Structure formats: structure tokens, C-alpha cells
């Protein structure tokens, strides 16, 4: 997999499927082993995102999320959400996360995983590594601020801050 990056405050986290770490003050570090019961080091994956003090890692078909304000660790008993196939899209917007897998794209609406409401956006997959946050876009009479855009097998797709969708 290609290297994927995500800014978490003054740190830059990185992963490529086999390596996971962060850069602070121009020095790279590996993820430390947590000293909290039932917690594991956040694993290497193929995509990263950070929303509301939580680091999200896509690892094959699993979406793993860190503890709030502790991006290096996760609770192995509950901080894992399985999807239908390899995750192909992971991007944040103000009101949630867009996650795509081999079956489609979903909007996880809410401030954090315990409050997420999963909405089906498409029943076809996003093309992996094509998603990007954009400042705004006008589609007809609709103006979307801070949406994401991705390529799919059915063309270019746009997802709004509230889970709205255009193709």
C-alpha cells in the first residue's frame, strides 16, 4: 500500500499497511505500547483520518478508532467496526466520516463512534485512494462547503458535510 498521512495537532501520523508511526519536530517515532488494561497500540493500516480527537485507521475491512485524545491506543474489545470488504474511502467532514468498502459508500454521522448513525450513500464502491477534501463546489443551485470528492465506477462523486450526495 502507499503511504498515508494525517495531521493530529502538531504531530503527523503515517501508515502504509505495515508501518505505523508519527513525526514530531522532524523526528519519526513508532507507536508505543500502551500501559492501560485491554488497550493495544493503534495498528498499521492503509488509510488514516482524524476527527473530534479520535484517530481512525482503515486496516483491510476494519475501521479501528483510537481512544479520544489518545491517538496511539485503542480498546481492543470495542474500538473496531467491520465493513464488507477492504476499505476504499476514509474521509472526514464536519458532521462525520465517509467510509467506502467493496459494496458501497456509507456516511457515519455523528460526533464520535458511540453516536454514529450509519447511512448508505451508494451501493457501488469508491475507487481506492481517490478521495479528497475540497473547499467548496456548486452543483446546480446547491453550494456545498467543505465536501469531499472521490472517483467511483460510476463517475465523480461528491459528499456533503451532512451526508448529502451527488453523482
Predicted confidence (pLDDT) at residue 78 exceeds the cutoff of 80: yes
- pLDDT band for 136, please (50, 70, 90 cuts): confident
Predicted confidence (pLDDT) at residue 21 exceeds the cutoff of 80: yes
The pLDDT of residue 140: 85
The pLDDT of residue 142: 86
pLDDT in tens, 40-71: 999 999 999 999 999 999 999 999 999 999 99
The whole-number average pLDDT for the span 61-83 is 96
**DSSP letter (8 states) at residue 149:** E
**Rounded to an integer, what distance in angstroms lies between the CA atom of residue 164 and that of residue 107?**
9
Cα–chain center distance at 100: 9
**Rounded to an integer, what distance in angstroms lies between the CA atom of residue 132 and that of residue 17?**
20
- pLDDT band for 139, please (50, 70, 90 cuts): confident
Amino acid at each position: 500500500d502507499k503511504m498515508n498521512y494525517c495531521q493530529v495537532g502538531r504531530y503527523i501520523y503515517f501508515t502504509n499497511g505495515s508501518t505505523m508511526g508519527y513525526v514530531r519536530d522532524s523526528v519519526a517515532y513508532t507507536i508505543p505500547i500502551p500501559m492501560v488494561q485491554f488497550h493495544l497500540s493503534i495498528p498499521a493500516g492503509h488509510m488514516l483520518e482524524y476527527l473530534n480527537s479520535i484517530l481512525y485507521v482503515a486496516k483491510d475491512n476494519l475501521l479501528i478508532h483510537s481512544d479520544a485524545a489518545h491517538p496511539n491506543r485503542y480498546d481492543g474489545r470495542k474500538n473496531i467496526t467491520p465493513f464488507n470488504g477492504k476499505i476504499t474511502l476514509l474521509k472526514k467532514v464536519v458532521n462525520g466520516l465517509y467510509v467506502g468498502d467493496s459494496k458501497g459508500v456509507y456516511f457515519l454521522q455523528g460526533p464520535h463512534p458511540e453516536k454514529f448513525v450509519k447511512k448508505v450513500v451508494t451501493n457501488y464502491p469508491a475507487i481506492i485512494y481517490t478521495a479528497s477534501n475540497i473547499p467548496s463546489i456548486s452543483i446546480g443551485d446547491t453550494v456545498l462547503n467543505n465536501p469531499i470528492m472521490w472517483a467511483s465506477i460510476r463517475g465523480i462523486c461528491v459528499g456533503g458535510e451532512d451526508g448529502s450526495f451527488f453523482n
